Amino acid sequence: MDLFYASVSVPDDNSCCTNDSHKHINITKRRVHFHEFMLDVHHRIFAYKQEYPRGDAIPIIAQQLAQEAQLLCFDEFQVTDVADAMILKRLFSLLLDLNVVVVATSNRSPDALYEGGINRSLFLPFIDMLKHTIDIISMEDSSKDYRLENRADGQSYFWSNKKVHSDNNSKNNMQAQLEKIFGSTASGTEAEIIPVLFGRTVQVTRLNDRCAWFDFSELCYQPLGAADYISLCRRFPVIIMERVPQLDANHLNEARRFVTLIDACYESRTRLVLAAQVPLDELFVDFEAQVESSDGDEELIVNEKGGNSSSFATTMIRTKEGEYYEWSATGRIGVSLAQLSSANDLAFSFRRAASRLVEMGGNKWGRQ
């Protein structure tokens, strides 16, 4: 995406004109991560509704986006929320009508977008529109992970087994290295309030001009999201997080926030320094989710499993009679199945997050 975006030149007022007129054409373009794009859209809706509570914001926002960029490029296209699904369905239709060229990357094929989501039937026409109006290029045959070609030599991931009491020297050494990365605190020892979209804020208690230091619980056990992490990345080129636990099926919400933080750091080229309780190759524990039905009640069951797997592409549910059906064939919708979709999507994201951490551990990673 970066290479494509950089290759699209933006001519000045005097360098491009139509063949049949003397009117000059200004080509405008924008590249944005999906998280940031949706935050921008939600913030525009919020601002519009403040002034016009009963108005329809989507057509206005589509016109604004079309005026700002004729070429819209964004990464990590994904749909995990019913509100986003409904917004995207209308917004993309309007953008295409306004002749905006959209180029996106995604870890999901169009048919797999918002799979298992609540009221997905309302989203299916959007998928059909994508398949008929956008060229779809599949790269699934490429099994090589080029991020793993990079050697994690930048000292951005430290671990120490807290259960081994004789490893105090290792813990002290790890703490000393974190302190070295953090650097001086002379430029700012008081807490700082970082502004976030929609009038929210996030507090940083340990910081200096270039680095913020957090405990895992501060960023991942709290109700934070992409907006908070993006704001932190804009403010600090380096973020240190310590006491990172092994992330498994017992930490679904915390793991989801952590993956979102990694995405924000990766997109902004923020250096993320982690002090964890396990090695990097053991940080994310693969799991699979299924729905069990008993006496008419459905329950989400998440089972851990070792090793890597690509079995998450097909979601199976088991009936009371013990028969298994593919979720997409059942038509059953409920809160538990929304959780199922979210859990399996997180399992998919684990492998990407681990891969990104390897690349981000290189000594050349970070904003210069």
Structure-token pair, residue 335: 């809160």
How many domains does the chain fold into?
Answer: 3
**Residue 176 falls inside a structural domain:** yes
Together in a domain, 176 and 275: yes
Please provide the average confidence, as pLDDT, over all residues in the chain: 78
Together in a domain, 257 and 305: no
Together in a domain, 291 and 275: no
Asked if residue 64 has pLDDT above 90, the reply is yes
Asked if residue 115 has pLDDT above 80, the reply is no
Together in a domain, 117 and 9: yes
Residue owning tokens 């009221």: 119
Length of the chain: 368
When pLDDT is averaged across residues 10-31 and rounded to a whole number, the result is 60
**Residue 158 falls inside a structural domain:** yes
**Residue 356 falls inside a structural domain:** no
**Residue 311 falls inside a structural domain:** yes
Together in a domain, 183 and 303: no
Of 229, 260, 279, the residue at which a domain comes to its end is: 279
Together in a domain, 156 and 126: no
Asked if residue 127 has pLDDT above 70, the reply is yes
Of 229, 256, 279, the residue at which a domain comes to its end is: 279
3-state secondary structure 207-222: ECCCEEEEEHHHHHCC
Asked if residue 99 has pLDDT above 90, the reply is yes
Of 279, 311, 326, the residue at which a domain comes to its end is: 279
Together in a domain, 120 and 9: yes
Q: What is the CATH number of the domain that holds 160?
A: 3.40.50
Q: How far apart are CA 83 and CA 146, in angstroms?
A: 34
297-344: per-residue pLDDT in tens? 445 455 555 433 222 333 344 444 554 444 333 333 343 445 555 666
Q: How far apart are CA 130 and CA 80, in angstroms?
A: 17
274-294: per-residue pLDDT in tens? 999 999 888 888 765 554 544
Together in a domain, 115 and 182: no
**Residue 145 falls inside a structural domain:** no
Together in a domain, 127 and 160: no
Together in a domain, 222 and 293: no
**Residue 322 falls inside a structural domain:** yes
pLDDT of residue 304: 53
Structure-token pair, residue 246: 């092994």
**Residue 9 falls inside a structural domain:** yes
Domain housing 308? 287-347
Q: How far apart are CA 192 and CA 17, in angstroms?
A: 50
How is residue 190 annotated by DSSP? S
Together in a domain, 162 and 190: yes
- Residue pair 202/192 in contact (Cβ under 8 Å)? The answer is no
Handedness of CA 245, 251, 254, 259 (dihedral sign): positive
Top pLDDT among 199 and 228 is at 228
- Angle between helix 34-51 and helix 226-235 axes, rounded to 10 deg: 110
Q: How far apart are CA 10 and CA 247, in angstroms?
A: 44
Q: How far apart are CA 307 and CA 12, in angstroms?
A: 53
pTM of this prediction exceeds 0.75:
no
**Residue 352 falls inside a structural domain:** no
Together in a domain, 7 and 68: yes
